[in-house]
Amino acid sequence: MQRLERSAKTRVRRCYTQQKKLIIPYVRSNPKADLTAFFTTQIKPLWQKTLKQIWQDSIEEAEKEIRGIHSGIIKKDWQDYADQWLKDNAGTKIDGITNTDLEWLANTLQSGLNEGKSNDEIASDLTDDWDNMSDGRAGTIARTEMAGAYNYASNETAGDLLPDGSTKVWNVTSSNPRPWHEEADQQEVPLDEPFLVMDEEMDYPGDPQGSAANVVNCLCQLTYNINEPEENELSPEEEESALSEASMQLGGEE
């Protein structure tokens, strides 16, 4: 996951650089302009493209990981999971990121106006402030979005592929976890049931159902205990077929 995190962070930083090229000239021309409309038409599409790339990379990698620990026929591929993740989460996540940045930008501009600075002075100050803000935000956004999408796809693929009776385990990977994640470490539940973390039900680390305190900057991962059938053990489908055949045979003897 470290490789995925580095790649995600590079993409987020690139997105912020593209935003800066659009925002600074816009602010220089009119610091009092409507930023909400500008973000909707100019900034959100950049995030849509960036996050889609991060999510797809993470989901594809997670599916490969699960395929590597257990062979079998999978009902969906990583693209199916990526499409579903985008459908369920893209709007909310992009709104969350841009609303935070928009609030920061509005406050920064208002501070300059209150101090009586010129448009050029405000734009100059914003250039440096933007770099500091975006550098700090890039790591958090990249880590959160990468890990959430990765664990989502891991959970979905495992539920699709692993044998009945297998379980999933919440696994802390950070050397400095938040206390409630440390308490959740090695919590084990059936594949189709949620974990309970800080009194919140979450299907996997990074699950958007969880609060920011559970999701942001989380690097926890899923691991699995696979219930491998005994060599001569019948699958549920094979057992049902065998019972049906036996029933028919008994009926014929009567």
Please tell me the pTM assigned to this model: 0.82
Residue 227 within any structural domain of the chain: no
Strands 188-190 and 200-202, bridge-based pairing: unpaired
Cα–Cα distance, 169 to 189 (Å, whole number): 7
Residue 153 within any structural domain of the chain: yes
Residue 241 within any structural domain of the chain: no
Residue 253 within any structural domain of the chain: no
Other residues' Cβ atoms within 10 Å of the Cβ of residue 208: 16
**Structural domain total, the chain:** 1
Residue 213 within any structural domain of the chain: no
Residue 168 within any structural domain of the chain: no
Residue 189 within any structural domain of the chain: no
**Residue 220 structure tokens:** 């926890």
Residue 216 within any structural domain of the chain: no
Cα dist from 224 to 101, 125, 203, 249, whole Å: 38, 50, 13, 41
Q: pLDDT tens, 65-118?
A: 888 887 766 666 778 888 888 888 889 999 999 999 999 999 999 999 999 999
Strands 188-190 and 167-171, bridge-based pairing: antiparallel
Which residues, given as ranges, of the chain have pLDDT below 70? Answer: 72-76, 230-254
What dihedral angle (degrees, nearest 10) is formed by the CA atoms of 188, 57, 18, 2?
Answer: 60
Which residues form the domain of 85?
Answer: 2-161
